[in-house]
Structure 1
Amino acid sequence: MTSFSDADYAKRSYGELPVGYGQRPGIVVVDYQKAFTEDRYPLGGAPLIMRGLENTARLLEVARRNNVPIASCYTAYKDEGDMPYWKISAVREQFRHEHPGSELDPAIYDPGYDVKVCKTGPSIFFQTPVVPFFIRQRVDTVIVTGCTTSGCIRASSIDSFQYGFRTIVPEDCVGDHEEQPHLDNLRDISRRYVDQTSSDEVIAYLDRVGRQNS
């Protein structure tokens, strides 16, 4: 099998064109539920995920101030018969509707503002009302936050791209259990589908759009 370096990809024009920002942003918050953010659970409390949670909370405060639509999701099932064939025992055992690990972390969720959805696959867009919600809100740019980078963030980013949204992923608003898959997947999707940026850059964009719309 041929091995491609970053230079090989660049020579073949991967990542050559930016996605750029549009006029109407929307934000998805993927799986910042307690199963991932509380260290009493097997999947909870990973440093990169907690860093992402903190930066996302900061970004969302600015988004709400500027009337930016937010869709936040958690993953949960009725029972194991309702699940796809997850290879992760903690998901099979704890991602249940009645389990406290399915609750959204209060650091990122405002029940009086955010749209809350339950998803059953990796992508926040899979069989959920998020796309119709964004269409009604005239969203053209989706900011992707949440966890995990190598799983649900990658899937949500690709779906966002496929639905025709400009897709932006602030690196410090997403997280994974290991750094290398986090970096590898961000590098890969940013070559093809998304612009990788930072929370500070997105916050500046949200404030700029807010001023324009006021």
Structure 2
Amino acid sequence: MTTAESFKNLGYGSGSVGFGSKVAVVVVDFQRGLTDPAFPMGNQPAIQTAVDNTARLLKATRAAGLPVVSCYTGYSTARDALGWKVDQPLTWRIGGPECELDPRIYQPDYDIVFAKTAPSIFFHTGAAPVLHKEGVDTVIITGCTTSGCVRASIIDAFSYGFRVIVAEDCCGDPDPATHRANLEDVSRRYCDVLSLDQILTHIPVAEAAE
């Protein structure tokens, strides 16, 4: 019996989350420290592909007038940095180049942006209150990395009562197997995992925006 069959026999993964009445796109940590090859963690092909795919999604989302909420990880000094077992985030300073959002996914006069210090975009930020104020009941999660900050954001979005849709090809991870394993796991517990093309069919003006 496979792992997937074992979980299914226990009742995991039954049904689907589906889309509610209003969606928003949540973009996790597509900042230059993770997307710009000039930086040590910025030359990851899967993340580059995810950024480009997310840019397509956001073009349709903005054309539909739907909310876009982005975040970056950064600290004011070494003293407020958390105890990551990853070197680079400890040196990312708010206002520095590593904390700048990738221009492919950022529209300054439209997007709502939060700085975060922990993995989830929802942890000690205003992301959930803003989305609730906007009447959003469904969040489409994109970003990096799948096994870290994206997964944490999925779980917190679920915990806040949102319907959670994960755009599989709009998320990136250094290891393809880890990417797949984490999405398979969250999909049997908290969310629907769909492709970009599947998601675009739920945004009415997507075709026109393309």
TM bracket (short chain):
over 0.9
Question: What secondary structure is seen at the aligned counterpart in 1 of 2:60?
Answer: helix
- Between the aligned partners of 1:53 and 1:207, the Cα distance in structure 2 is 22
Q: Does 2:186 align with 1:184? A: no
- Selected match of 2:24 from 26, 37, 53: 26
- Between the aligned partners of 1:181 and 1:61, the Cα distance in structure 2 is 28
Aligned to 2:51: 53
- Between the aligned partners of 1:98 and 1:112, the Cα distance in structure 2 is 18
Question: What secondary structure is seen at the aligned counterpart in 1 of 2:16?
Answer: coil
Aligned to 1:42: 40
- Between the aligned partners of 2:110 and 2:103, the Cα distance in structure 1 is 13
Identical aligned residues as a percent: 44
Bigger Cα displacement from structure 2, 97-106 vs 27-36: 97-106
Aligned residues: 208
Q: Is there any run of 5+ residues in structure 2 with no aligned partner, and where?
A: none
Q: Retained in 1: the 8 A contact 2:200–2:206?
A: no
Aligned to 1:76: 74
Pairwise CA distance, 1:79: 1.4
CA change 1:40–1:85 in 2 (3 A) is same
Q: Retained in 2: the 8 A contact 1:145–1:153?
A: yes
1:174-208, Cα deviation, whole Å (9 max, x unpaired): 00111111111101100100000011111110127
- Between the aligned partners of 2:121 and 2:112, the Cα distance in structure 1 is 12
- Between the aligned partners of 2:206 and 2:161, the Cα distance in structure 1 is 20
- Selected match of 2:125 from 102, 125, 128: 128
- Between the aligned partners of 2:76 and 2:23, the Cα distance in structure 1 is 33
Aligned Cα RMSD in Å? 1.7
Q: Is there any run of 5+ residues in structure 1 with no aligned partner, and where?
A: none
Pairwise CA distance, 1:76: 0.5
TM-score, with length taken from structure 1: 0.93
**Aligned residue identity for 2:185:** D
Q: How does 1:146-185 map to 2 (within 5 A)?
A: 146-185=143-182
Q: How does 1:51-130 map to 2 (within 5 A)?
A: 51-93=49-91, 95-130=92-127
Q: Retained in 2: the 8 A contact 1:66–1:210?
A: no
- Between the aligned partners of 1:92 and 1:129, the Cα distance in structure 2 is 23
Question: What secondary structure is seen at the aligned counterpart in 2 of 1:61?
Answer: helix
- Between the aligned partners of 1:99 and 1:137, the Cα distance in structure 2 is 30
Q: Retained in 1: the 8 A contact 2:64–2:205?
A: no
- Between the aligned partners of 1:139 and 1:148, the Cα distance in structure 2 is 24
**Aligned residue identity for 2:6:** D
TM-score, with length taken from structure 2: 0.95
Pairwise CA distance, 1:11: 1.1
- Between the aligned partners of 1:135 and 1:99, the Cα distance in structure 2 is 30
Once superposed, which parts of structure 1, at least 4 consecutive aligned residues long, lie more than 6 Å away? Answer: 208-211
Question: What secondary structure is seen at the aligned counterpart in 1 of 2:128?
Answer: helix
Q: Which structure carries more helix by proportion?
A: 1
Pairwise CA distance, 1:124: 0.3
